[in-house]
Structure 1
Amino acid sequence: MALTRDLLDIRTIYHEPAVEGFPLGQEILGRFPDAERIAVPSHWNIPELHGNAGSVADWVRIKRSTLVLGVKKSLTMRPNGRSAHFIAPSTSNGCAMACAYCYVPRRKGFSNPISLFVNIDQACAAIRRHAARQGPLPEPDAIDPAAWVYDIGENGDLSVDAAVSSGVRSFVELFRTLPNAKASFATKAVNRDLLDYDPQGKTRIRFSLMPARIAKVVDVRTAPIPERIAAIDDFVAAGYEVHANFSPVILYEGWEDDWRALFAELDGTLSDAAKAQLKCEIIMLTHNADLHDVNLGWHPRAEELLWRPDIQEAKVSQGGGTNLRYRTGWKGRWLGRFKALLADTMPYCTVRYAF
């Protein structure tokens, strides 16, 4: 992937001492020989990054110039039931991109550059054992007709991670060998290096899409929406299953017209082969008061779209946090209107789940 210096120019690497004992750790460190290396006791315990309110003003600079390397301690699978059957152990946390609505900085503090975990072989072995215990998928469901699906990119963007680490290729190669399992991850980047990974239908990429004029405000440092749409045919031809992730759906004056135009652009761009396998998920915006305060420190314009207490209400999430979502009752009506727009323009695009 041709990463510009505006997206990623690693100058500082914080790392746990054990990282150097792993082949992937050695590989990543070798890619950035001129970067300053700072040993830290834990990837979660870096005072210069986490909990440092002063870093808000340097939000983008830190994402561009800083990398964190650690060893993943927990390798358990978590049941999901929405985008996937299981959430696999995250091999990354944080991102070089800076979407204003991202939930990761809600938990990680004032800065969340890419953190990569180098014990990829252990993570792959854990997934292999878990998949073997599952046996065949008992029956088709909304997640997949034939395979157990593992989300391998819950806390980061693997398209960008793949420009820094061979770990993403290792995951794609792993799932290629598992007869009953499939990988899945969402992305807002277009990394054409992935076209050479030969997934053989065992990795599902979900390109996140929203109206382009809104993405220019809230999808900071990501691939432009037209570029993501244009890439879908190529990834299908390369052997990936490609779905659309309509997320987040943000409500504002004129949102229906913008989404109708996006659906028309998709319909007019995708090949018949891409349309035949296309499914989607729809996720209405979830926001958070703490993230709102952080965003005011670096990107207040985004909050004009995201912070709408007049139509939002507090709700406790599955993870136990208190977030803001569109008000009950009205949210269902707006979601119904969204689905009707989609069905009118792209009737072949099945909605896998929506919330």
Structure 2
Amino acid sequence: MAAPRRLVEVDTIYMEPGVEAYERGREVLARYPDAWRIPVDSHWKIPELHGNAGNVDDWVRIKRTTLVLGVKKAMTIRPNGRSADFIAPSTSNGCAMACAYCYVPRRKGYANPITVFVNIDQIGRAIARHAGKLGPKTMPDQIDPVAWVYDIGENGDLSVDALISENVRDLVGVFRDLPNAKGSFATKYVNRDLLDYDPAGRTRIRFSLMPETVARVVDVRTSPMEDRIAAVDDFVRAGYEVHLNFSPVIVYEGWEADYRRLFEAVDARLSPAARDQIKAEVIFLTHNRDLHEVNMRWHPKAEDLLWRPDLQQAKLSESGQWNLRYKSRDKQLYLARFQEILGEMMPYCGVRYAF
């Protein structure tokens, strides 16, 4: 399958040692036979990409044309307790899209094109072993009433990754065969090839939504909001559990009215089957001074929405970075108002997680 030209058009591949020893590595290389191949010692240490401030001027081209192939070393599965029970080992890192609020550039440097890990079989076995040791989930919670949920897309967008390799199909297959677990990932891209993956209800896809007027500014190179909303019913029919990911919620003059219109648009498109299983998570914007400075060099218009010191306060994150979040007392009011409007417009849509 050919990837959409405007989103992914790989002409340069950085590859760690050993990539060609894996079937998935050979498959991806064969998909891009004319790409320039550059050996590197580590997918984390590529001076031309990571920490190179000059890449800000070429941000989108790098995302469209550059791919990194690596071998996942650590098979760590971390507890989460928010959107999922656990964070699974990543099968990718980085993204071909360029959302202005994305946290990955803060960790990996100025350019963060997709890194695909080729040892997918080892990752799948690690997940299966972990779930097998857990046994049944005996206590229902806000994450899921009966299944252990693994976030499989923490560091990228799997709908886009599926344009490059069969890793996502393989992950869906892993969870199809696990009676006590589900995979889960958020996406801003509608890839209808996933409709043929036969998830059998064991993969939860969370379509990220925000008002279209804001998305046009901050959701760079993503699927239009109308397409994401229209996809919900199709993915439910294909056997996915489909939830909504209202993230990030950005506060600006008129945001409440815009979300009311968004909820109205969603409500008008959902079938009874989709309504019966829909739930949402709500995550308000977290920003960062370093990312603000990066954005000011390539997309300053986005910072009119994201950088609001009058509304935000600094807070030390778990990773040791000073992030900006809406002032605590005000954020509680914003969150209450958001849930009030959602409850009015879509009373059938419960909120699993709000932050």
Q: Which TM class, normalised by the smaller chain length?
A: over 0.9
- Give the structure 2 partner of residue 204 of structure 1: 204
Normalising by structure 1, what TM-score?
A: 0.99
Q: Aligned-pair distance for 1:296?
A: 0.8
Structure 1 residue matching 2:25: 3-state secondary structure: helix
Q: Aligned-pair distance for 1:321?
A: 1.9
Q: Aligned-pair distance for 1:322?
A: 1.4
Residue deviations 1:172-224, cap 9 Å, x none? 00100001000000000000000000000000000000000100000000000
The residue type equivalent to 2:268 in the other structure is G
Q: Aligned-pair distance for 1:5?
A: 1.8
Distance of 2:167 and 2:51 partners within structure 1: 28
Structure 2 residue matching 1:341: 3-state secondary structure: helix
Q: Aligned-pair distance for 1:320?
A: 2.6
- Give the structure 2 partner of residue 130 of structure 1: 130
Q: How many residues align?
A: 355
User: Is the 2:80–2:86 Cα contact (8 Å) retained in structure 1?
Assistant: yes
Q: Aligned-pair distance for 1:4?
A: 2.6
Structure 2 residue matching 1:58: 3-state secondary structure: helix
Q: Aligned-pair distance for 1:330?
A: 0.6
- Give the structure 2 partner of residue 282 of structure 1: 282
Structure 1 residue matching 2:84: 3-state secondary structure: coil
- Give the structure 2 partner of residue 246 of structure 1: 246
The residue type equivalent to 1:104 in the other structure is V
Q: Aligned-pair distance for 1:139?
A: 1.3
* Aligned CA distance change for structure 1 residues 2 and 220 (closer, same or farther; 3 Å): farther
Distance of 1:205 and 1:79 partners within structure 2: 20
Does the alignment pair 1:338 with 2:355? no
The residue type equivalent to 1:297 in the other structure is R
Structure 2 residue matching 1:329: 3-state secondary structure: helix
The residue type equivalent to 1:94 in the other structure is G
Q: Aligned-pair distance for 1:316?
A: 1.4
- Give the structure 2 partner of residue 64 of structure 1: 64
Q: Aligned-pair distance for 1:2?
A: 5.9
Structure 1 residue matching 2:133: 3-state secondary structure: helix
Counterparts of 1:1-355 in structure 2, within 5 Å, are: 3-355=3-355
Please, what is the CA RMSD of the aligned residues? 0.7
User: Is the 2:182–2:203 Cα contact (8 Å) retained in structure 1?
Assistant: yes
Distance of 1:317 and 1:347 partners within structure 2: 33
Distance of 1:20 and 1:297 partners within structure 2: 37
The residue type equivalent to 2:164 in the other structure is V
Distance of 2:311 and 2:339 partners within structure 1: 20
Normalising by structure 2, what TM-score?
A: 0.99
Structure 2 residue matching 1:220: 3-state secondary structure: coil
**Comparing 316-325 and 239-248, the one that deviates more:** 316-325
**Percent sequence identity over aligned pairs:** 68
Structure 2 residue matching 1:232: 3-state secondary structure: helix
What are structure 2's unaligned runs of at least 5 residues? none
User: Is the 2:3–2:164 Cα contact (8 Å) retained in structure 1?
Assistant: no
Distance of 1:6 and 1:239 partners within structure 2: 29
What are structure 1's unaligned runs of at least 5 residues? none
Distance of 2:330 and 2:3 partners within structure 1: 41
Structure 1 residue matching 2:154: 3-state secondary structure: coil
Distance of 1:115 and 1:322 partners within structure 2: 26
